Structure 1
């Protein structure tokens, strides 16, 4: 018969009413040190690459992207991950792009939209630069500088102060459909002048303005985001200046015809 080992001969110890075989684990020795936790490392993805946002921290992450600072770069960065998109969406990077775009414009409707995010306001700024239709609010808010074209003929050019180096005449469109001039206007007669929008054959309104029976005025944009109306004989240009009252859109409290 085989000889029983010491472990097999050890008495059974009852723990919680359950019999346990073998001796209990020895207590840790006083001189033993607990294992030190590993130093914190930024989380890595499945490929082992460390996310720059986690490695750099949010502030340094913003600093790096701010030097790349264009809309295309930010839009590409937003597609990297949800974390990147959330970090970029807070506006710290989009706001400087908006401010730079507005500084170069004479009219920026998106600047008057604090209800939108900075990213949305930047997108609206770019979209507005492509807008070709003038609204009635814009037409009736701006002061319009009037002059004749050379095609109008010598008679009218002789009456127009702009052709002798003097300031352009001012004209004002009103919401009731009337068009008026400044009191000192030498060309303005006693006749009633009315305006209206002309629709295109596709029903688009805001591309043409009709004044009395004269040829329709075509609406166009200037490189700085301003507005212009013109036909074969005359030009109306919105009196908009960089940094003026309308450079930040049609703001509440800005009275009409103040420029």
Structure 2
């Protein structure tokens, strides 16, 4: 019978504590903490670190691939993007798959058909592409514009005010694009731009209701 008495009793107890401590360290954190707590821990990781935990085990993957976590990662990734891939509308697509496919899609270059048609890519002297902003919030393009696909279909003017009635923010939003700010050029023309796109007004005196000058601007 071991009554833990004698000069070596404390040493035996210490060894048992050390053994238990080592065993606890070797245990799977998912087993120790449980799925709910691990879900909270993993949600604080960045996307790259979170993805690295998917290969630990099947149990880890079931937690690390949760839509609850990747939904927030997708929101962070998509924030401020001008276009979102159409496959995101696929029914039943997991948030992890949506994130992975979005990253892959974001690395693609401009498609060949676009490079062959857009004057910016071809260096053609046909002049810039025209986009027409109508009072009803719709947009159109020239009938012979091969690039126009209807994706720039609507726009809205957003204005917010302070308590004293002064304008706080005033900008234009095209579909889901980042907000576009309006500025005046030295030739009294208008420019609407953000970090992705830029629209410049052109003389339109020959168009009914136009406000541009008849003479060319030098």
Larger radius of gyration: 1
Does TM-score exceed 0.5, indicating one fold? no
TM bracket, shorter-chain basis: 0.3 to 0.5
TM-score (structure 2 length as normaliser): 0.44
- Structure number with the bigger relative contact order (C-alpha 8 A, sep ≥ 6) is 1
User: Which has more helix, going by share of residues?
Assistant: 2
TM-score (structure 1 length as normaliser): 0.38
